[in-house]
Amino acid sequence: MKTKIVAEIGINHNGNVNIAKQLIDVVSVAGCQYLKFQKRTIEDVYTKEELDRDRESPWGNTNRDQKKGLEFGKEEYDIISDYCKAKNIQWFASPWDINSVKFIKMYNNPYIKVASACMCNIPLVEEIKATNIPVIVSTGMISKKELDTVLDILKDQVEYILSCTSTYPTKVIDINMHKMISLKKIYGSKYRIGFSNHSPGLTFILMAAALEAEMIEFHVTLDRSMYGSDQASSIEVPGIFKIMNNVKDMEKAWGSNKIECAKSERVIRDKLLKKILK
């Protein structure tokens, strides 16, 4: 496929490796090229006050309990890495802190992603630069000036820029597909341009494919009613297969740019022209 598809599991595994494996099974069978996770060192990303805040969750009564319950460590990522190899699908992650960059670097992933929420964290961006791993950047919540600052740091290490709106789920009026078109006009000669989806529907993913997005990323889940802040903006299993089948069909349908009688039309042309001429 020309359009690379990234299925983001993110934290929709709910801290359960078996759920992650089920999602890996789905996206690998569907034909996605990559899947993505999020990695955080909880104490580095959040303040003590934030972690101590009351929050009911399946893991306890504080925000700390919830954040730690959702986080995979080395044991889980070793399992995930081996499982992805067995399923012939590549994975990568968006690290939210410097220690997580160092952690992710151990796995020899094809990409590392700067999440929208981390684009203004310059020390983190510089740490990612030091990895020499190809980079994907996302553009939710940031200005052109802030994007240019990151691009100036990472330079040719950046491979993809993804148009994005960081609301979960994103309302139709806020999708802004023109943003991807603008990114193509401004940066398309140097970088590949794509789309990161936070809508629960399929429409805008397919619209991005029609606009020739070179990478499309969307959150995936087994069930949108599951616990988690990202579930409502995710695509369930039937939708994943629909997306992959439709994107493949759209790529086949592009054809050539020639104005001519297609090979498949020749028999019909001969029949119709004979009838009309008579």
Tell me: pLDDT of 274 over 80: no
The sign of the CA dihedral 104, 164, 67, 81 is negative
At residue 272, the pLDDT reads: 87
Domain span including residue 183: 4-277
Mean pLDDT of 112-116: 98
Taking the model in full, what pTM does it have?
Answer: 0.94
Contact 167, 219 (CB under 8 A): no
Q: What is the mean pLDDT of residues 71-91?
A: 98
What lies within 8 Å, CB to CB, of 105 at 6+ separation is: 112, 131, 133
Burial status of residue 105 (CB atoms within 10 A of its CB: 0-12, 13-18, 19 or more): middle
- Place 278 in a pLDDT band, splitting at 50, 70 and 90: low
Number of domains observed in the structure of the chain:
1
Task: Quick: pLDDT tens for 240-264.
Answer: 999 999 999 999 998 888 999 999 9
pLDDT at 233 over 70: yes
- Residue 43 in contact with residue 51, Cβ under 8 Å? yes
pLDDT classification of 89: cutoffs 50, 70, 90: very high
pLDDT confidence band for 277 (50 / 70 / 90): low
- What is the dihedral angle through the alpha carbons of 200, 204, 210, 216, rounded to the nearest 10 degrees? -60
Q: What confidence score (pLDDT) does residue 107 get? A: 96
Provide the phi-psi class of 262: left if phi over 0, else alpha when psi is between -120 and 50, else beta. beta
**CATH code for position 265:** 3.20.20.70
